[in-house]
Structure 1
């Protein structure tokens, strides 16, 4: 019997994603013994501050679990792909599998008693998010609203919205309460809150984060047995889209404070890819779209990234870089 230890965060959504990986491994490999190892990451412990001081999402949610894989305490690690930094290499690690992509788009969640029509027509409503990309798009789409810092696991954020809780800040202050949240639809579905979606943004409205909706399983590059096992649950289409989107981040050298978005789709043997870079105010947006062979995703991602740079994306990214 094969023993397979996979690390994950303790949040309800992360555990649901990891249980799905375990289910698929057990179905694909008879006799495999999957052990889920739970981590309380830095980002889970600090529910008030922004993620930047912790090294962005990569430092906050990924680093500790990665270290356990590198040290040999785990065979693999589960990550939401959008939490994995795309502008840097992680020596010794590879993405061994991606699951089929969940709905990649963002959704608007409203507090009880607030209708979509009231929200669209009203002024002064507060939209909660911790994602710089969502914040930039929100300022662009809803200039009459105020965007506020809002943290927590998916179910925690919705509970805080419903109960009218303010978001505590590291300096002892607070903001809010929020009237609306912008969240990943896939995350809401994972924790049984899909019914709270008041509006789903299209790619035209709000381009998703790179890798949004894709669950990635990371393992040691030299652990060929684990890589072989993970290949049995890998979704080739989602993996190709992930490669294309993450190549854009690599070319742009985007960081965790950069409002960057990217979304790839495959139809037959053709892949389409759209990516964008926004300033924090949402007042300036640079976008590029291309198509290419589906079996050459990194080349397509590189071409889109270079087009964004040619249009002036580097200036926006540098302005958003922490000093």
Structure 2
């Protein structure tokens, strides 16, 4: 490749760590040199609007739309995203089919008091911006009050330390990448809290007609993670899931099998619909669609407005 490659990323500390991981992977697996890859910071609307739920100001696309626009306008060649922040439906003309090896997908609690969820005082306030996390927490402890929290990891921890919340819930992958595991007071198992589709996965996106970049990205795609990503995302696609959809879905691979589980909550969080199925790895995408259809039928669309 005889031109420089520009990687577009959000400007948060965590997003730039993810962009650097992508850059390092390309350097390790191709003959492209460090100086030929540039990381460009892009501000997204999700970074600018910090006091409302995403669903109230445009949904998950808030974190990806500006970056995708730069990709469409050929101002960048590769976009780096946390897969869980991407809308379920692909943007026309763009390709998201490259995934780095999955980081830990579990959820964690950081509490002011250093206590675990079951040790928090009655009616404690937990910060989250996710309906899924809110309903999952209340399934474990119905007295807990969930209060909206937005901002990057550092901002959320500061708000916790300022006494605005008793605890906050975050993804383990982000905390690991920022190397602040010492702040964790509890790690939830997948059985306790099923994570968001694609949690812990870095996704790389390019234009679907950019043959040169596609050939570079194919060199760094993690096959197992790719199967998990497509299975989990297809559950969302069938449900037409958005920011208001309280859905957790998680896949694991055992030998030649992929095992997928998902839980979906009604809009008010009072009903929970669960399903678990497995298939051959090659049928991962179909498995995701099948699970989505089952949940759609079981829930009778009670998860939608």
Question: TM-score w.r.t. structure 1 length?
Answer: 0.90
1:61 is the counterpart of 2:63: yes
Match of 1:122 in 2: 121
CA RMSD of aligned residues (A): 1.4
Structure 1 residues 222 and 121, CA gap change in structure 2 (3 angstroms): closer
Which residue of structure 2 aligns with residue 252 of structure 1? 239
- State the distance in 2 between where 1:42 and 1:300 align: 34
Task: Give secondary structure in 2 for the equivalent of 1:273.
Answer: strand
Is residue 234–residue 288 contact of structure 2 (8 Å, CA) maintained in 1? Answer: yes
**Aligned equivalent of 1:315, options 278, 301, 305:** 301
Q: How many residues align?
A: 302
Q: Distance in 1 between matches of 2:57 and 2:77?
A: 25
Matched residues in 2 for 1:129 and 1:80: separation?
18
2:130 counterpart residue number: 131
Q: Tell me whether 138-147 or 4-13 shows the greater mean CA deviation.
A: 138-147
Quick one: distance in 1 between partners of 2:32 and 2:170? Answer: 38
Cα distance in structure 1, aligned partners of 2:97 and 2:289:
22
- Unaligned segments of structure 2, at least 5 residues: none
Instruction: Specify the alignment match of 1:105 in structure 2.
Output: 106
Matched, 1:34 2:37: yes
Q: Which deviations, in whole Å up to 9, do the C-alpha atoms of 1:73-113 show, x marking residues without a partner?
A: 11110000001111x231111114100000001011101x3
Q: Does 1:302 align with 2:301?
A: no
> CA offsets, 1:273-311, max 9 Å, x none?
001111354331101110001011111111111111221
- Cα distance change on mapping 1:8 and 1:286 into 2, 3 Å: same
| Residues 236 and 292, structure 2, Cα contact 8 Å, conserved in 1 | yes
- Per-residue CA deviations over 1:205-252 (Å, capped at 9, x if unaligned) read 110100000000000000011010011111000011000011111111
Q: Give structure 1 regions of 4+ aligned residues with deviation exceeding 4 angstroms.
A: none
1:211 is aligned, of 170, 178, 198, to: 198
Hey, what's the Cα distance between the residues in 1 that align with 2:231 and 2:168? 29
Distance 1:28 1:181 in 2: 38
SS in 2 for 1:195: helix
**How has the CA–CA distance of structure 1 residues 116 and 256 changed in structure 2, closer, same or farther, with 3 Å as cutoff?**
closer
SS at match of 1:316: coil
For residues 49 and 255 of structure 1, the distance between their equivalents in structure 2, rounded to whole angstroms, comes to 15
